[in-house]
Amino acid sequence: MAVAAGLLFGFWVALSGKLGAFHLVLGLLSAVAVALATGRLYRARPQPMPADEFGRAPLRWRHFLTYGMWLGVQIFRSAIHVARVILSPRLPIAPRMVRIADDLPHPIARLTLAHSITLTPGTVTVDCDDEGMVVHAIDPESAAHLGSDGGPMADRVRAVFHSPER
């Protein structure tokens, strides 16, 4: 824990550039608090996924490559959208939590969808379970792109992992 706190404190000093006593004490207290709060995570043993559940992902490489290019375009478009929202004088931010019911049969497909949503600016996957996932969206338009079933992103992940269309 002391090593983690020391590393965090050093990182804080390097990024902040503040060397006054108040700031150093505040940075040290913050580093110790974070090290204490996350110490349990560092000591926990990894929980490997059972082989029968993980299996071999039925990946179609051609679809995977086109999905990667499509996702890059979506990330760029979402970044432009989020920039417009933030730079707008009215600041039309209306955050919301959206529940997405996914029917992706493979854990790697669910993981791919969850990470793709998080990579897209304006949305963050907050929770994921067998019934679906909970996503935080910055505004109604970002939430609408997801829909209640993951929208076109889930459809493309389904195609990558040999999942039948809805």
The pLDDT, as a whole number, for residue 107 is 81
Q: Give the residue among 111, 109, 113, 119 at the shortest CA–CA distance from 59.
A: 109
Total-model pTM: 0.66
Q: Are the CB atoms for 116 and 161 separated by under 8 Å?
A: no
What's the pLDDT band for 49 if we cut at 50, 70, 90? Answer: low
Q: Give the residue among 93, 101, 91 at the shortest CA–CA distance from 141.
A: 93
For the chain, give the percent of residues with pLDDT over 90: 43
Question: Which residues are CB-neighbours of 44 under 8 A, at least 6 positions away?
Answer: none
What's the pLDDT band for 166 if we cut at 50, 70, 90? Answer: very low
In this predicted structure, which of 32-36, 79-83, 91-95, 122-126 has the lowest mean pLDDT? 91-95
